[in-house]
Amino acid sequence: MMSEQFEKVGEGLLVRAPGKINLSLLVKGKRPDGFHNIESIMAKIDLYDEILIKQKTEDGGQRTEERTKNTEQRMQNIELICKGEYKVPEGEDNLVYKAAVEILKIKNQKSNSNEERNTGLKITLTKNMPAGSGLGSGSSDAAATLLGINKFFGMGLGKKELRSLAAKLGSDVAFFLDGPIAFCTGRGEKVKKLEKCEFRVFLIVPDVSVSTKRVYENYRHDESRYRRLREEINIYIEKKRLDLISGLCANILEESCFALHPELGVLKKRIESLGIRPVCLSGSGSSMFVFINDANRERAETYRNRIERELECTSFIVNNNSW
């Protein structure tokens, strides 16, 4: 059974932050502001980071030596703890922290008393997805923090207000406020919901952290390729045949990513040599995925063990997320 996004845990609120894959990713060209315009179909998957939101006590229940850490966070009345398999910064560089700061500004502006304004938060982020993997986990964590704090305090902020906050945090954050599948344009912040579709994918997560910034800087635009893929994809969108789009493996950033990380290109060929294909890159990398149907489902389970053993890659079999 698929998990719900929100779950009450004692006096706290647990918020699940799903990853995503890009069923397609085209780059339209570079913008005057230095960013790139994209056209991407993003779909949430049922692989989650977890964010636990609690109201902070006066000392947060911390030991003395722990209270000396992260002075800036204490000044903002936010305590952020990060745990889980993958390490991320616990300070103000973390998108969860930034998201909490932004939405608490709104709360404080609307509060009627100093007591309400000074309400602190203890946020625990459990990372089950690595950063730099093309799964959008950082953006999803930020969106989940906005949604969670809004719900935790009963702030009643609508989608328009939340999207305004999301725009300050990153291009993909807006997608994770809604979904579960959407056509994203602009820098990724313009989100058009698409009809939900069910799928299952074999997800491979190499131990390689890819810099999205570097991949875009290394990208060389091919206008004819962009136009050809765009025409095909738009036809399939109109026909509501997202299953056919996935078969294209239309990620125009793949060449740039593999030029920076040749080991990922080698890994893709080795995976395809096992007989599961086509192998698609998610986002700017490094994660890759293969769609599973009834014919190759059993083989995927077998290959998952083989890939983890022989290629030393973490892998999952995941489904589309329903929210």
91: CB partners within 8 A, 6+ apart: 70, 72, 73, 80, 97
User: Locate tokens 């063990």: which residue?
Assistant: 305
Strands 78-84 and 250-251: unpaired
CA 148 to centroid of chain Cα atoms: 16
Q: What type of residue is 27?
A: V
Name the amino acid, one letter, at 96.
Answer: V
Q: Which residue matches tokens 């807006």?
A: 174
Q: Respond yes or no: is residue 93 known to be catalytic.
A: no
Q: Among residues 46, 49, 141, 172, which one is catalytic? A: 172
φ and ψ at 290, to 5 degrees?
Answer: -130, 130
Which tokens in the block code for residue 115? 């007591």
Is residue 48 helix, strand or coil? strand
Residue with tokens 């636990």: 52
Catalytic residue among 8, 20, 87, 190: 20
Q: How many CA atoms lie within 13 A of 52 on its CB side?
A: 14
H-run or E-run covering 123:
strand 121-127
Q: Dump the DSSP string for 221-260.
A: --HHHHHHHHHHHHHHHHTT-HHHHHHH-EETTHHHHHHH
* Cβ atoms 141, 177 nearer than 8 A: no
Query: Are the CB atoms for 279 and 290 separated by under 8 Å?
Result: yes
40: Cβ contacts below 8 Å, ≥ 6 apart: 22, 24, 25, 26, 183, 184, 185, 188
Does the annotation mark 172 as catalytic?
Answer: yes
Residue 64's H or E segment, with its range, is: helix 64-67
Distance CA 67, CA 282 (A): 39
Catalytic residues: 20, 172
